[in-house]
Amino acid sequence: MIVVMEQDATADQIQHMAERIESLGLKSHVIHGTEHTVIAAIGEKREHMKESLESGAGVSKVVPIMAPYKIASREVKPEPTCVSVGSLSVGGGKLGVIAGPCSVESEEQLMECAHAVKAAGGTALRGGAFKPRTSPYSFQGLKEEGLKILAAAREETGLSIVTEVLATDDVDMVASYADVLQIGARNMQNYRLLEAVGNVDSAVLLKRGPSASMDELLLAAEYILNEGNQNVMLCERGIRTFEGHTRFTLPLASVTYLHHKTHLPIVIDPSHGTGHAYMVPDMAVAAAAIKTDGLIIEMHPRPDEAFSDGYQSLDFDMFNETMSRIKSMANNVGMTI
Ligand code: PEP
Ligand code: MN
Q: 3-class DSSP state for residue 88? A: strand
Question: Is residue 77 one of the residues assigned to a domain?
Answer: no
Q: For residues 38 and 91, state if they share a domain.
A: no
Query: What was the pLDDT predicted at 53?
Result: 93
Cβ of 237 closer than 6 Å to ligand 1, yes or no, is: yes
Q: Which domain holds residue 101?
A: 83-332
Count other C-beta atoms under 10 Å from residue 130's C-beta.
23
- Sign, CA dihedral 156-162-166-170, equals positive
CA-nearest of 230, 220, 177 to 199 is 230
Query: What was the pLDDT predicted at 228?
Result: 93
Q: For residues 196 and 264, state if they share a domain.
A: yes
Question: Is residue 185 one of the residues assigned to a domain?
Answer: yes
Question: Is residue 237 one of the residues assigned to a domain?
Answer: yes
Question: Is residue 324 one of the residues assigned to a domain?
Answer: yes
Q: List, for residues 11-48, the tens digit of each pLDDT value.
A: 999 999 999 999 999 999 999 888 889 999 998 877 78
User: What distance in Å separates the CA atoms of residue 101 and residue 306, rounded to the nearest whole number?
Assistant: 8
Q: Are 143 and 188 in contact (CB under 8 A)?
A: no
* CATH number of domain containing 26: 3.30.70.1140
Q: For residues 90 and 56, state if they share a domain.
A: no
First to last CA, the chain: 36
Residue with CA closest to ligand 1 atom 10: 185
Residue with CA closest to ligand 1 atom 8: 184
Q: What distance in angstroms lies between residue 79's CA and the mean position of ligand 1's atoms? A: 29
Q: List, for residues 145-174, the tens digit of each pLDDT value.
A: 999 999 999 999 999 999 999 999 999 999
Q: What distance in angstroms lies between residue 329's CA and the mean position of ligand 1's atoms? A: 26
Q: List, for residues 214-242, the tens digit of each pLDDT value.
A: 999 999 999 999 999 999 999 999 999 99
Cβ of 207 closer than 6 Å to ligand 1, yes or no, is: yes
Q: For residues 157 and 283, state if they share a domain.
A: yes
Is residue 256 predicted with pLDDT exceeding 90? yes
Q: Residues 46-51: what's their mean pLDDT? A: 84
Question: Is residue 74 one of the residues assigned to a domain?
Answer: no
List all residues 6 or more positions away from 276 whose beta carbon is below 8 Å from its beta carbon. Answer: 246, 247, 311, 312
Query: What was the pLDDT predicted at 219?
Result: 98
Which of 269, 271, 274, 299 most suits a substitution to test ligand 1, by most atoms within 8 Å of the C-beta?
269
User: What distance in Å separates the CA atoms of residue 313 and residue 139, rounded to the nearest whole number?
Assistant: 17
Number of domains in the chain: 2
Q: For residues 48 and 108, state if they share a domain.
A: no
Query: What was the pLDDT predicted at 129?
Result: 98
- Given 28, 63, 98, which residue is the final one in a domain? 63
Q: For residues 112 and 144, state if they share a domain.
A: yes
Q: Are 180 and 161 in contact (CB under 8 A)?
A: yes
Question: Is residue 104 one of the residues assigned to a domain?
Answer: yes
Cβ of 288 closer than 6 Å to ligand 1, yes or no, is: no
Q: For residues 123 and 243, state if they share a domain.
A: yes
Q: For residues 176 and 147, state if they share a domain.
A: yes
